[in-house]
Structure 1
Amino acid sequence: MVKTLGSDRHNKLVAILIEKREGSGLTQTELAAKLGEYQSFVARLESGQRRIDVVEFIQLSEILRFDPATVISQLAGKIERR
């Protein structure tokens, strides 16, 4: 199994989630409150220090109002190598 933290796909997922949160006008603290978590939880997600499981991903999509299937499709596409 390939390490996922810090992978191109993980980094792209993090970037998309940050973009969606900022686009929704929520701060990390406000998003954390909606998740029932501390701000540090969101900070660890957004800094790439923590994996996002599928249940969390769906919850984030509901709160941030994006289609999870569209984001998965973006992640499943070819990832550019640096």
Structure 2
Amino acid sequence: MSKTIYRPEHTVLLSLLKKHRKAAGLTQVQCSKALERPQSFMSDVESGTRRLDIVQLRDLCKVLGISLTDLIKEFERSLSGG
């Protein structure tokens, strides 16, 4: 099995995170600041060079105004083509 960062599912997740950040009207800098992370944090996340654990993903969802559950449901729908 290939590393997750090289799988298409990872690309889908990154696209969803970026979509929700933009929908929330937030810049990468604003998201990073809200998470009390370095300015480059969101850039690294969205480019795929930084991976998030489940707790970090939950925190990011709160900043983006979407529940982790809803993000996962949207992720699964995107993977199934729905």
Structure with the bigger RCO (C-alpha within 8 Å, sep 6+) is 1
TM-score with structure 2 length normalisation? Answer: 0.84
**Which runs of structure 2 are paired with 1:1-82 in the superposition (5 Å)?**
2-77=2-77, 79=79
Q: Distance in 2 between matches of 1:20 and 1:78?
A: 14
Give the percent of matched residue pairs that are identical in Structure 1 and Structure 2.
31
Secondary structure of the corresponding residue to residue 70 of structure 2: helix
* CA deviations over 1:25-63 (Å, ceiling 9, x no partner): 111111110011112111110001111110011001111
The CA RMSD measured in Å over matched residues stands at 1.8
TM-score with structure 1 length normalisation? Answer: 0.84
Deviation at 1:78, TM superposition (A): 7.2
Secondary structure of the corresponding residue to residue 5 of structure 2: coil
Letter in 2 for 1:73: K
- Consecutive unaligned residues in structure 1, runs of 5 or more: none
Q: What is the aligned length?
A: 80
Equivalent residues of 1:32, 1:38 under 8 A apart: yes
